[in-house]
Amino acid sequence: MAASAKVLTIDNLTQNGEWTIVLPRRQKQRRTNSIKTRTEEGQPWIPTDLETDPRKQSKLMQKMETSMRRIENSQFYASFLEQIQSSDMLDRFHKVLGSDLKMQMVIYGIGSIESYEPPRFQLSLAILMKRKFSWIGDIEVFDPVLSATESWVLEALGCTVLSVNEEGRRQALKPTLFFMPHCEAELYNNLLQANWRVDLLNRIVLFGNSFETYEQNIVYYRNSSIINSARHVIAVRKFSDEFRIKTISDDYFAAFLDSSWHFFGPDLESELPSINYDGDYLLDG
Ligand SMILES: C[S@@+](CC[C@H](N)C(=O)[O-])C[C@H]1O[C@@H](n2cnc3c(N)ncnc32)[C@H](O)[C@@H]1O
């Protein structure tokens, strides 16, 4: 079901750009109906705090509106859009789309949008992108820290909150933009491991921490568990095109530092190394 389409009693943006919010009368019913269930693909999940408070929801929605307005009017956003619309990047987005018209977006690891500004900026960017580009399809979101209030606001903004923890292992059976700002290396690694096939990797666009930086810092990780949980991240570098984004101002440093777009283009299955998680990690393999 499209995120919340049937159940939300929230009008879209009004003509002057403000949100009109009518709080739903029966939230519990709305949540159970609208949250997507994929129990066969991961651990079932529900927010720990099931009770929501309309005042908290409204306050958080206002914070999100403020955050979206700030991003939309920023030099940072102008530069971000300019980069996406460069021919270099547009070609790659089109390649991932293939004959499909839409690329779904999956957001993992957004963090607490109620508690922190960087997650609000990150979510704002994802939502503004969807509004701007017709080729971006539905948005699904998961982070185990999401509260019931945050889930409500996410759905009010048109996203679907997943009810299972996929551990980042979603297979890209159709073109998918994985929006994973500042996630742990292990989550990127899970995603790559689950998609370690030419056809699947070619259907992924990934926004997240720079893989180039992981590779550059590999010597510092030698004795750390990161190295074991980033083997696919390092191995995919050979088939990656990475485009770093510019944070432009200090305001967006915390939210977007060291963030990049990644596109993967192995041509042959035989090019993909099989990756062994037992034994020592070799720097060259
Ligand atoms: C380093 S924090 C980044 C939070 C936020 N994006 C930021 O930049 O402040 C990593 C986030 O990944 C989330 N996370 C951990 N396991 C996850 C999973 N299996 N699926 C989705 N998100 C997960 C954590 O709860 C946490 O919010």
pLDDT digits over 217-226, tens only?
887 777 677 7
Tell me the sheet residues that pair with 107.
Answer: 141, 179
Q: Which residues contact 46 (CB under 8 A, 6 or more apart)?
A: 163
Per-residue pLDDT for 167 more than 60?
A: yes
User: What is the domain count for the chain?
Assistant: 1
Whether the CB of 115 sits within 6 Å of ligand 1: no
Rounded Cα distance between 243 and 263, Å, is: 9
Strand 259-264 vs strand 204-209: parallel, antiparallel, or unpaired?
antiparallel
The helix/strand/coil state of 26 is coil
Alpha-helical regions (H) of 35-179 = 54-72, 75-84, 87-97, 117-132, 148-156
In a domain, 23, yes or no: no
Copy the structure tokens of residue 40: 């066969």
The predicted model gives 79-88 an average pLDDT of 97
Going by alpha carbons, the residue nearest to atom 5 of ligand 1 is: 111
Please give the residue that has the higher pLDDT: either 155 or 228: 155
Per-residue pLDDT for 259 more than 60?
A: yes
Per-residue pLDDT for 39 more than 50?
A: no
- Residue whose tokens read 């990780």: 221
Per-residue pLDDT for 93 more than 60?
A: yes
pLDDT given for residue 126 in this prediction: 98
Dihedral angle sign, alpha carbons of residues 130, 135, 139, 140: negative
Rounded Cα distance between 134 and 96, Å, is: 15
Copy the structure tokens of residue 53: 């408070």
The predicted model gives 216-244 an average pLDDT of 87
In a domain, 29, yes or no: no
95: containing domain: 53-271
**Range with lowest mean pLDDT among 7-16, 72-81, 195-204:** 7-16
pLDDT given for residue 49 in this prediction: 83
258 contacts 209 by C-beta, under 8 angstroms: yes
CATH (domain of 108): 3.40.50
pLDDT given for residue 38 in this prediction: 38
pLDDT given for residue 36 in this prediction: 39
How far, in Å, from the CA of 144 to the mean position of ligand 1? 8
Whether the CB of 258 sits within 6 Å of ligand 1: no
In a domain, 217, yes or no: yes
pLDDT given for residue 227 in this prediction: 77
Please give the residue that has the higher pLDDT: either 46 or 106: 106
| 29 band by pLDDT with thresholds 50, 70 and 90 | very low
In a domain, 149, yes or no: yes
pLDDT given for residue 51 in this prediction: 77
Whether the CB of 208 sits within 6 Å of ligand 1: no
The whole-chain average pLDDT of the chain stands at 84
In a domain, 253, yes or no: yes
pTM listed for this prediction: 0.86
pLDDT given for residue 178 in this prediction: 99
- CB-count burial class (<10 Å; 0-12, 13-18, 19+) for 70: middle
**Range with lowest mean pLDDT among 27-41, 149-163, 239-253:** 27-41
In a domain, 17, yes or no: no
Going by alpha carbons, the residue nearest to atom 18 of ligand 1 is: 167
In a domain, 281, yes or no: no
How far, in Å, from the CA of 232 to the mean position of ligand 1? 19
In a domain, 126, yes or no: yes
